[in-house]
Amino acid sequence: MRNKNNSEERKKYLNKIRTTKILVFITQITILISFIALWEILANKGVIDSFITSQPSRMLETFMNLSQNGLLEHLGVTVYETLVGFLLGAILGVIIAIILWWSKFLSRVSEPFLVVLNSLPKIALRTSNNNLGWSRYLSNYCNGTCNIINCNNT
């Protein structure tokens, strides 16, 4: 008989836990829906700048038209370039690390240069400007120095 009471109490306990989980989930969904609705209303009324924060309806429209606006193609290119860049950087880094580990002389020679490179902002180490230096005249390529020298010949 005592065993039966324990199982009844256990069922009540488990039922209470299940009810609490469901209540928490419903509350979370309600907060999420309220936030999205408030965001949409405030963007429509002009209280928040939809150019900066966009709108849920515009994001949904863009998501629904993924195949028409080429977003999936651009996303694929971005993922590909990210993976290739990461793999090339990692492989090159490991090879350089192995060479520096094997050769004390090269390690000592390159140490001050590596310290300087490490202190530079990483964005300054990019190799190209992705055609942001091409002028109308193909003979005048500034290789990323267009912010210093006007190479657009305009």
Residues 38-90: pLDDT tens digits?
999 999 999 999 888 899 999 898 888 877 877 778 889 999 999 999 999 99
Give 122's pLDDT tier (boundaries 50, 70, 90): confident
Residues 108 and 96: their CA atoms lie apart, in Å, by: 14
Q: Quickly list DSSP for 5-72.
A: HHHHHHHHHHHHHHHHHHHHHHHHHHHHHHHHHHHHHHHHHTSS-HHHH--HHHHHHHHHTHHHHTHH
- Extract the tokens encoding 78: 């971005």
For 82-95, what is each residue's pLDDT tens digit? 999 999 999 999 99
Structure tokens at 128: 């190209």
Is the CA virtual torsion 133, 137, 141, 147 positive or negative? negative
Domain boundaries, the chain: 1-64, 124-154
